[in-house]
Amino acid sequence: MDNQFLIVGQGIAGSLLAYDMYKAGHKFKIVSSPDENMASDVATRRYNPAIFDKLAKHWKVDELLPVMTNLYRDIENELGHQFLHPVDFTQALSENEIRVWNERIFDGDFSDYMESADTSWIKRGIDNFSLFDRVEKSGYLDLAKLLSELKQFFKENGNLIEANFKYQDIGFINGHITWRGVSAKTIVFCEGHHATKNPYFKSIPFIPTKGELIEIECEKLAEDYIIDENLFVMPMGNSRFKVGASYDYSKQNGKTVLDTRTNLLSRLDRLISLPYKIISHWSGIRPAVSDRRPVLGVHPNNQHIAVFNGLGTKGVILAPYFAREMMCSLVNKNYILDKEIDIHRFLN
């Protein structure tokens, strides 16, 4: 029997879509290349229901967060590993910001996530600031571990083909797409920033955004919260911390750059006053779109081709909810996607 779906890419987008298909009992294959640079590779990822610069809530967070938590917990139960780690976030506030923050806390719309600004919980190593806020229902996902466990799971179930996908190998025969002997009703491209080369989705205005991260070891820095102050400092256990990230719209290669590292470290030195050791330095490319929203749906001129991309800087919190939306639009032709994320906003 034919596959219903062929997914290209096993980053967070392709993996969560594939997991939803597995749960719904659909027949599918994933083709993904272990050689391609993927944004999801850069290890651990934060999720935060607040936007600190604006002292506001994240877009759609009331809908995104429950779907996110349920899906990752479900995968944890299925695979027998923990991936999601709740940790509070904090940020230094000016006198002015603290007033706005304190108003927000008593606003029913925000109170679920924001806690009163309280200096007492800020501990060792952060001496240059005096007032801090606190965001709850935040934390991090061990994305590298999640993807490697899902890879193994899909391999064992016969769903994963490790290969480099080339567009010229696609065929269209009798209402099916074919690729190297695999046939499916619909091909779903989840290629991350590689989608800039996709001939079927040329009019999506991708803005691939390079980012770099550093891992440090700092014995005395407190490990009970993630600091997000101009850059983030995220505890990983055993006195290890991830520090980042940079944003570079001009370069689209996966190489780390010494200048970026120097810049991250000088920002870190303004934040913490403790000695640390640099352990490693990574880079990756975020698949962002000009309007900073995900992009998904079936191609308006070819019902056998679909896309799920544009997770940008927020793959952890966006991917679970929009993988579900993607599934709905794949299995139900009449399903109406939200205009903000629908592929139709770029293609008619």
Q: Closest CB to ligand FAD among 212 and 229?
A: 212
101 HSE (CA, 13 A, CB side): 24
CB 64 within 8 A of CB 321: yes
Q: Judged by CB under 6 A, does residue 45 bind ligand FAD?
A: yes
193 near 206, Cβ under 8 Å? Answer: yes
Which ranges of the chain would DSSP assign to H, the alpha helix? 12-24, 61-79, 95-105, 143-156, 258-271, 315-331
Rounded to the nearest angstrom, the gap between the alpha carbon of residue 213 and the centroid of all alpha carbons in its chain is 15
Q: Give the three-state DSSP class for 256.
A: coil
Told to check if 309 binds ligand FAD by CB under 6 A, we report yes
Site residues for ligand FAD, 110-169, by CB under 6 A, read 164-165
Q: How far is the CB of 119 from ligand FAD (least distance, A)?
A: 26
By CB under 6 A, tell whether 221 contacts ligand FAD. no
Distance CA 241, CA 216 (A): 5
Q: Rounded CA gap, 203 and 312, in Å?
A: 17
**Residue 87 burial (CB count, 10 A):** 15
Q: Applying CB under 6 A, what is the total number of residues that bind ligand FAD?
A: 42
Q: Give the range of 20-28, 54-62, 101-109, 315-323 binding ligand FAD by CB under 6 A.
A: 315-323
Amino acid at 196: T
Contact predicate 324/20, CB 8 Å: yes
- The stretch among 26-34, 78-86, 94-102, 171-179 that binds ligand FAD (CB under 6 A) is 26-34
Task: State which residue has the least CB distance to ligand FAD.
Answer: 11
When computed from its CA atoms, the radius of gyration of the chain, rounded to whole angstroms, is 21
In the complex, minimum distance from the CB of residue 35 to ligand FAD, in angstroms, rounded to a whole number: 7
Q: Kindly give the interhelix angle for 61-79 and 143-156, rounded to the nearest 10 degrees.
A: 50
Binding flags for ligand FAD, 229-258, as an x/- string (CB under 6 A): ---------------xx-------------
Q: Using the rule CB under 6 A, is 281 a contact of ligand FAD?
A: no
User: Of these, 18, 188, 213, 231, which contacts ligand FAD (CB under 6 A)?
Assistant: 213
Applying the rule CB under 6 A, the residues between 186 and 205 that interact with ligand FAD are 190-194
64 binds ligand FAD (CB under 6 A): no
Q: Which of 268, 272, 316, 327 binds ligand FAD (CB under 6 A)?
A: 316
Instruction: Using CB under 6 A, list all residues that contact ligand FAD.
Output: 8-14, 31-33, 36, 38-40, 42, 45-47, 164-165, 190-194, 211-213, 244-245, 284-287, 309, 311-317
